[in-house]
Structure 1
Amino acid sequence: MHLFLPLVNWSKWHRHAERFKKAILCAMTLTLCVVGGVCALALAQNPAPAQDTARSPLDAARIIPFLDQTLTWYRQMTVDQQIANDPSEVTLMSENRRIAEQIVRLSFDFARAEADALAGSHGSSQVQSQNGGTPQQQSLLKAEDAADEEVKKAESELNSLKQKLATATGRQRQIVQSQIVGAQGELDLEKTRRDAIHSMVEFVAGAGGGQAGGLRGQIDALAASVPTIGAAGSASGNQTSATKSDTSTQVTASEPTGIWGLGAELFEISRKLSTINGAITQTQTLEKASSDLRAPLADRLRALTRQADELDTQSPDKNAPTLAQQRQQVDALTGEFKQLAAIAIPLGKQDILFGLYQKSLENWRSEVGVDLKGSLGRLLAQLAILALFIGIVLALAEVGKRTIYRYVHEPHRRYQFLLLRKIALAFAIILIVALGFASRLESAVTYAGLLTAGIAVALQNVIVAMVGYFFLIGRYGIRVGDRVQIGGVTGEVVDIGLVRIQVMELGGSAADTPTGRVVAFSNSVVFQPTAGIFRQIPGTDFVWHEVSLTLAPDSDFKAVRERLLRAVKAVLADYHEEMDRQNRAMERNLFAVPEGGLKPSAYLRLTPSGLEALIRFPVDLRHAGEIDERITRELLKAVDQEPKLKLAGSATAISLRTAAGAG
């Protein structure tokens, strides 16, 4: 890059014009090849379209947006780093961060190079003129162009006078020399004027960037927002190593085994895959922006190469002015090529790094895709196993249901077994689902224990009532239609629920007369020691009634007993078959049946008021009122029969009541 023509002495050029021209062209061609090799990728990926090469490829308006887009892409690395949890992913992210820092650094190298080119070349005026500006800026740009034209005219006039001097003789030579001195002074004046205008243009271009101190100031301000970019290479490397060391300390969690854990893992992997796809999309977008910036530079570099080839193919010219003009063209081409190459090289390097970065992300996406398929497969396998176990439980429940219908014929017992089957089925399904969704069995057991304790405390009464339900429907439990006495309330059971029992209250003048009220009791009453439950023996519907009357103390015991029993038996004879049926039902359901069965009995005892006769007899509850009425009439007749029984007191006193302990 040091073989440039400004280092060649003009006198040596004049003496060996043809040889130096060839040397200059060869040196420039070599320079183009060296710099062009670095930009080979940029030149290969952007085919040269037929366009106007006169337009400058420099554009100040595209620098800051490109840097903003680059920094936005770079900050996305923080999000990408958060989803890396495996050691291989942490290592990959560390390498990607190193590549990303190089890409950002090259973006700032490109921006600074183009800003320097815009600030230091005359092409910046053209670019700024194309991009517009204030009226003062436009006036300065026009004045600068006019000053350049005046300098060119003065230089052309001076060169013409120098050519005349070479052929002038005598007095004509003196005149030409004096004209040359005047033309030289005019040229110096025009150059001074041009330099002053150019200085003002540079000042306006630098101040036009606003508070950031111009375009270069904005670039430096953006670079300062990324500390790792402004730091030295070693510091950046140390920070990268530190980041890698910090992130590598992350502990990878064990793989979940439950459906809930697998579902959460599947969702997390899907989110990770979406983040990686977003990073790839952003990388491709930034790569396209870099390629769009590189395309006009590559086109201009090709155009410069073609112009150099054209100069190389021109025939040598020994004319000094022509050689000088050719030298200026070569200098201009070399300077512009160096300037554009300094801008294009960072973009060409970026293209290589973008390929590496995108390839790394694609490999990561492939690995995450494999993890996603594996997690999905494990989740489907768990769901299949869960469905299989539930299916087995449902099949066993169906077998149990058919077995109950086949071997249990008694309706009440069948209902009990079917209810137990439903409860067992629900419990088994809940247990299987809980174990299937639990990621860790020990955690599930601990959680289930705490949950069970909380439920037991909060629903203590409900749980006791539910347990009491099974006692109520047991072998010696109660059924709908049974006559029961609970807590002093006598009635008929109308409903037995899981937590409470409904009883239709009976009472009034007759034992089987409804009062119009339904009383609800909690099933937990079976565990209360003070509130007993009295019910009929299964298959029976009777109650013991008692009739008492007080006779004179001198009454004949035997005669009284026989007469009263005969009167009661005469009434009960009409209900003998029903009482026998209930007696047989009682014998079937009880291990020990009292001797005598359902027959009336009479007891006599002396009291201070006289001889008390107590007759105890069974009553069918469906005909209790009728039986009591008939027995009362028969007893009165028996008392009035001759010989009449002597009653204690002046009036006949007959008392009828339900026997103690009867419902």
Structure 2
Amino acid sequence: MSNTTITKFLIALLGILIITFIITGLRKSVQRYVKDHSNWYKTRKTMNIFGYILAVIFLGILYSDMLGGITVVLGVASAGIAFSLREVIASIAGWLTILVGGMFKTGDRVQLGGVTGDVIDIGVLRTTVMEAGQWVNGDLYNGRIVKIANSFVYTQPVYNYSTDFPFLWDELTIPVRFGSDYTYARKLIYNMAMEKTEEYSLDAGEYWERMNRKFVIEDATTKPMVTLAVNDNWVQFTLRYVVEYKKRRIMKDALFTGILEEIEQSNGKVELASATYEIVSAPPVDVNVKR
């Protein structure tokens, strides 16, 4: 019995080494033909999973005569194993849910467990995210790589910026002084928004039509919208527009630059407001001088 066990162990070790060698050779051979980085990532992941499955099948066949005893042992210890490995089991189940349910894929901009960034790897136990935001504005990378357990899909919401509708609505505000030509200001802001975001508006409109056919959702407009509000200090115009989810900061910079240039060329029709105070008149002062 001892000799048989040692022999099977050596055969198992040799078989695993051969399977590893075959998978490594396949990866090197396929890599020469797959040039796209995204396709190569998916191909490499698929071959790795195939290697794991092949190894499990090989070990199952090799130790088939011992499966009965192993089943009895696992049946007795299942409760303890399930309790001690509950996070691991939940993470593996979450991995399957991510892959089968299409919750997100590599390259998507997501928010998972309070972490916002781009998915760069989906492992069996953890999802790896290149973080954006935090102390960096404009949804740009901050340099941190975050690993999140896959079990989060059952306990926390998953925000995907790029799955069915890879666009976002964003807003910017323009303070305008009282007495300006408000109609001209509205038209100026709207025309600049159409010039900069028209391409995104058209593409977003096509995506939104698909969303309407797939989900029960409001038929919202993807064209720019300019609204006006008044406060104690100035007239405030708010521009709402659609932009690709990774280009919010670039688009906001282009819009502000274009709007400011147009305002400066308006010959005083539109003037920007600032937090300054103008004294229109002073209350009368009555001074009595007594000897």
TM-score, normalising length from structure 2?
0.62
> Which of 494, 515, 524 in structure 1 is aligned with 2:142?
515
Question: By how many angstroms is 1:414 displaced?
Answer: 9.3
Change (3 A) 1:543 1:510: farther
- Find the counterpart in structure 1 of residue 125 from structure 2: 499
- Find the counterpart in structure 2 of residue 478 from structure 1: 104
Distance 1:417 1:598 in 2: 38
Task: Note if contact 2:166-2:244 (Cα within 8 Å) is conserved in structure 1.
Answer: yes
Distance 1:519 1:513 in 2: 15
> Which of 202, 214, 223 in structure 2 is aligned with 1:580?
202
Distance 1:650 1:445 in 2: 76
> Which of 463, 483, 487 in structure 1 is aligned with 2:89?
463
Distance 1:426 1:453 in 2: 26
Distance 1:414 1:473 in 2: 14
Residues 258-269 of structure 1 aligned to structure 2 (within 5 Å): none
Distance 1:456 1:599 in 2: 53
Letter in structure 2 aligned against 1:612 = Q
> Which of 187, 205, 219 in structure 2 is aligned with 1:595?
219
Query: Residue 543 in 1 paired to residue 168 in 2?
Result: yes
Task: Note if contact 2:110-2:161 (Cα within 8 Å) is conserved in structure 1.
Answer: yes
DSSP 3-state at the match of 1:465: helix
Question: By how many angstroms is 1:581 displaced?
Answer: 4.0
Higher relative strand content: 2
DSSP 3-state at the match of 2:145: strand
Task: Note if contact 2:224-2:239 (Cα within 8 Å) is conserved in structure 1.
Answer: yes
Query: Residue 534 in 1 paired to residue 130 in 2?
Result: no
- Find the counterpart in structure 2 of residue 133 from structure 1: none
DSSP 3-state at the match of 2:75: helix
Question: By how many angstroms is 1:494 displaced?
Answer: 1.2
Change (3 A) 1:473 1:566: same
Residues 189-338 of structure 1 aligned to structure 2 (within 5 Å): none
Letter in structure 2 aligned against 1:527 = Y
> Which of 59, 66, 80 in structure 2 is aligned with 1:454?
80
Question: By how many angstroms is 1:562 displaced?
Answer: 2.9
Distance 1:645 1:477 in 2: 47
Question: By how many angstroms is 1:612 displaced?
Answer: 2.7
> Which of 237, 240, 244 in structure 2 is aligned with 1:613?
237
Distance 1:514 1:540 in 2: 22
Change (3 A) 1:457 1:429: farther
Task: Note if contact 1:537-1:586 (Cα within 8 Å) is conserved in structure 2.
Answer: no
Instruction: Give a deviation string over 1:589-621, Cα, whole Å, max 9, x none.
Output: 672465355322222234444433211222235
Task: Note if contact 2:182-2:270 (Cα within 8 Å) is conserved in structure 1.
Answer: no
Aligned-pair identity in percent equals: 23
Question: By how many angstroms is 1:631 displaced?
Answer: 0.7
Letter in structure 1 aligned against 2:74 = A
Question: By how many angstroms is 1:495 displaced?
Answer: 1.0
Question: By how many angstroms is 1:501 displaced?
Answer: 1.2
Distance 2:262 2:136 in 1: 25
Q: CA RMSD in A?
A: 4.1
Distance 1:453 1:422 in 2: 29
- Find the counterpart in structure 1 of residue 228 from structure 2: 604
Letter in structure 2 aligned against 1:471 = T
Instruction: Give a deviation string over 1:418-473, Cα, whole Å, max 9, x none.
Output: 888777777777777776325xx6x6654222233232122121111111112222
Distance 1:627 1:634 in 2: 11
Change (3 A) 1:586 1:437: farther
Change (3 A) 1:458 1:623: closer
Task: Note if contact 1:485-1:535 (Cα within 8 Å) is conserved in structure 2.
Answer: yes
Task: Note if contact 1:485-1:491 (Cα within 8 Å) is conserved in structure 2.
Answer: yes
Instruction: Give a deviation string over 1:136-193, Cα, whole Å, max 9, x none.
Output: xxxxxxxxxxxxxxxxxxxxxxxxxxxxxxxxxxxxxxxxxxxxxxxxxxxxxxxxxx
Distance 1:502 1:413 in 2: 15
Residues 50-449 of structure 1 aligned to structure 2 (within 5 Å): 436-438=65-67, 445-449=71-75
Distance 2:253 2:49 in 1: 47
Question: By how many angstroms is 1:515 displaced?
Answer: 2.2
Larger Rg over CA atoms: 1
Task: Note if contact 1:579-1:620 (Cα within 8 Å) is conserved in structure 2.
Answer: no
Distance 2:102 2:205 in 1: 17
> Which of 251, 255, 263 in structure 2 is aligned with 1:627?
251
Query: Residue 566 in 1 paired to residue 191 in 2?
Result: yes
- Find the counterpart in structure 2 of residue 356 from structure 1: none
Letter in structure 1 aligned against 2:193 = V
Distance 1:468 1:486 in 2: 13
Change (3 A) 1:498 1:464: same
Higher relative helix content: 1
Q: Mind listing any 5+ residue stretches in structure 1 that lack a counterpart?
A: 1-262, 268-410, 652-663
TM-score, normalising length from structure 1?
0.30
Letter in structure 1 aligned against 2:88 = V
Instruction: Give a deviation string over 1:338-389, Cα, whole Å, max 9, x none.
Output: xxxxxxxxxxxxxxxxxxxxxxxxxxxxxxxxxxxxxxxxxxxxxxxxxxxx
Change (3 A) 1:491 1:423: same
DSSP 3-state at the match of 1:473: helix
Distance 1:587 1:422 in 2: 42
Distance 1:423 1:600 in 2: 51
Distance 2:146 2:42 in 1: 25
DSSP 3-state at the match of 2:175: strand
DSSP 3-state at the match of 2:227: strand
Distance 2:42 2:204 in 1: 21
